[in-house]
Structure 1
């Protein structure tokens, strides 16, 4: 396989290397017959796939291209004799392909010299597998925008990523105006083109109003009643719209954790935009001074930091926790038998709160980290530490931040 350095180039020559992402995909391709590479449009899935196969290869199919669609009119005939890596881009456009792929993947390799399949999609497999599931036959790798490990830990880079988001087309332009224009156009393409192509038929102006309402819920517990009243539609319809945004990687529904505590605990999910650049576009924010002065600045930073922690820590499971008595924990991560709590505070010097002590005790946490946008790591109390966001990066060192193995949940100093 062709595996050069996976670089994304900015308009002014800036290079962003995505070596970790490429390594993860290479490892999966070394171990499995089929890999589903999923993530929103324009995030770099096709660029990554091209590191492993040329687009001129007869094994490469782009289902947004008419010629590729014609070649796959009879999928078994087109795919049965292909050997090596077969790439099908935007596979959600032909969900009937999954029936043929299931048969091909199941063929014994000692009888048939089958191909190996890399399937690129812009929606959750639950959406693309409407007719046939590849459960147990394919593994999934999600591709998101740039993260801290890719853009570096300087304050300027971190603020740049927070403001613009991680889509290459939004992060890399020379000016904030160009970035804002790209994000605005991306939102329109999503509403007027992407959703209808996925069979999610909602009038674009209505979906835009709903998405703007969701922006005001960023970092909050979801309640379908208010958006339903405002839009004049039923709560079931509102929940379906939210699922559309979730299944196309626009929104994260962080589910609540329930412990047997004898306390009333929150059961509705928390809502976060996966990409803060799109959030800021819907908020009308173009520059960092505007963002810092915005009343939702704190909630925006919390969602940004949460997404970075999840991508770097790679926990087995992740939840939030809250009780109706007021105790809460922004993020509860599980890795094996370890339980790690995370609070996000956009403050210069975070302190221990009563809520944090309750969470530490009731949830029996192995550690609780308070992630903040400062410069130094310091102890808050037994089992609790304040941690700069950038300090999660591997190789940060004890003087600069948290040991990488610890922030991957449950490691030791």
Structure 2
């Protein structure tokens, strides 16, 4: 069992300053397991799982159930009862109770809680397993980071789990979160988005292909993003004369889910046309999570004439560029030189799956993904 020590420390630190800590992440990424690890050494704990009908019924009258309880109160799948937030505020302001709340839908949950719990709540995004938590990069890339996928006894069982996960998400989980969709249409869109992975999704093109309105396409994409299934990476605009791309770049956040949506089994991704794009999304997702997301912002940059940068990381005036190449010996390209000059990058790293890191040119180097993650993690998470 992977205890995820870094996130346990994050919960501890959050409760040092706040009475409420929200762990947000996709369904079955390990939120409940993490919460159980955290509370196992606490003296008094009360756990409510809102998928359990009995627990849900107990919180139908929170003013009767919660006041007598002391210590830490865990509420799992909080998005099923957003009406609890105002009462949690009352309890926080009039007692020393601590609340650890777990949720699977980010945007709605944050909006609902921030309005009533402003200044009282800290947020932690929990992704599926990351590369720095496991010891097999290739397996992690192929199977993805969802615990039951990565820890499955075999590749075939991992694949079966992911197929069922996608089906359950569409047919059960979304409706349980109060999100109304047409499951068959959402599945068609999600599969189509997998083919746009690492590219700019053309909403009008998707609308024509799927016979759905632009409005529905955008709404469904926002739902997938709010449930941590896709990432829409924002474009960066620089004050230069060149015409720049102004639409977001799309990624399926978990590589294992991506491969299932593409119909790719086991190691077949290595010969698939989306191999390079899959590696790019996998490396980007792991690298983004190695930074302190409260301090840094993340973009991509591209011009209409083809110059581009896969990832731009900014903090104040600091600008770090990343290119992701599934290659053992990448070269400096014209596009990289343009990005260095136009964006005034402090540094540009070309991230590869290899083990070697070396300098290619002035402030441009080749870096293994593991080394890049370790560098950013050490810089921003260790004291």
Q: Deviations for 1:257-316, whole angstroms, at most 9, x for unmatched residues?
A: 11111221111100011101001011111211x110111111000000001111113351
Could you say which residue in structure 1 is the equivalent of 2:276? 298
Could you say which residue in structure 2 is the equivalent of 1:200? 179
Counterpart-to-counterpart distance in 2, 1:167 and 1:212: 19
Deviation of 1:222 after TM superposition, in Å, equals 1.9
Is the alpha carbon distance of 1:141 and 1:58 closer, same or farther for their aligned partners in structure 2, counting shifts above 3 Å? Answer: closer
Superposed, 1:117-266 pairs within 5 Å as 117-127=99-109, 129-130=111-112, 133-152=116-135, 157-266=136-245
Counterpart-to-counterpart distance in 2, 1:41 and 1:178: 19
Could you say which residue in structure 2 is the equivalent of 1:5? none
User: RMSD value over aligned CA atoms?
Assistant: 2.1
Question: Is residue 344 of structure 1 aligned with residue 324 of structure 2?
Answer: yes
What is the SS of the residue equivalent to 2:90?
A: helix
Normalising by structure 2, we get a TM-score of: 0.93
What is the SS of the residue equivalent to 1:190?
A: helix
Could you say which residue in structure 2 is the equivalent of 1:11? none
What is the SS of the residue equivalent to 2:48?
A: strand
Q: 1:312 aligns with which of 266, 290, 307?
A: 290
- List gaps (5 residues or longer) in structure 2: none
The question of whether the paired residues in 1 share the 8 Å contact of 2:85 and 2:112 is answered with no
What is the SS of the residue equivalent to 1:348?
A: coil
Q: 2:47 aligns with which of 37, 57, 60?
A: 60
What is the SS of the residue equivalent to 1:350?
A: coil
What is the SS of the residue equivalent to 1:59?
A: strand
The question of whether the paired residues in 1 share the 8 Å contact of 2:8 and 2:38 is answered with no
- The structure 1 segments of at least 4 consecutive aligned residues displaced by more than 6 Å after TM superposition are 55-58
Q: 1:389 aligns with which of 365, 369, 373?
A: 369
Counterpart-to-counterpart distance in 1, 2:43 and 2:24: 22
Counterpart-to-counterpart distance in 1, 2:144 and 2:156: 14
Is the alpha carbon distance of 1:133 and 1:225 closer, same or farther for their aligned partners in structure 2, counting shifts above 3 Å? Answer: farther
Counterpart-to-counterpart distance in 2, 1:92 and 1:404: 31
Superposed, 1:339-378 pairs within 5 Å as 339-378=319-358
What is the SS of the residue equivalent to 2:129?
A: coil
What is the SS of the residue equivalent to 2:174?
A: helix
Counterpart-to-counterpart distance in 2, 1:364 and 1:128: 35
Could you say which residue in structure 2 is the equivalent of 1:18? 4
The question of whether the paired residues in 1 share the 8 Å contact of 2:45 and 2:74 is answered with no
Normalising by structure 1, we get a TM-score of: 0.87
Counterpart-to-counterpart distance in 1, 2:36 and 2:50: 15
Aligned length: 378
- List gaps (5 residues or longer) in structure 1: 1-7, 9-15, 395-401
Counterpart-to-counterpart distance in 1, 2:175 and 2:31: 21
Counterpart-to-counterpart distance in 2, 1:389 and 1:89: 34
Is the alpha carbon distance of 1:96 and 1:143 closer, same or farther for their aligned partners in structure 2, counting shifts above 3 Å? Answer: same
The question of whether the paired residues in 1 share the 8 Å contact of 2:43 and 2:71 is answered with no
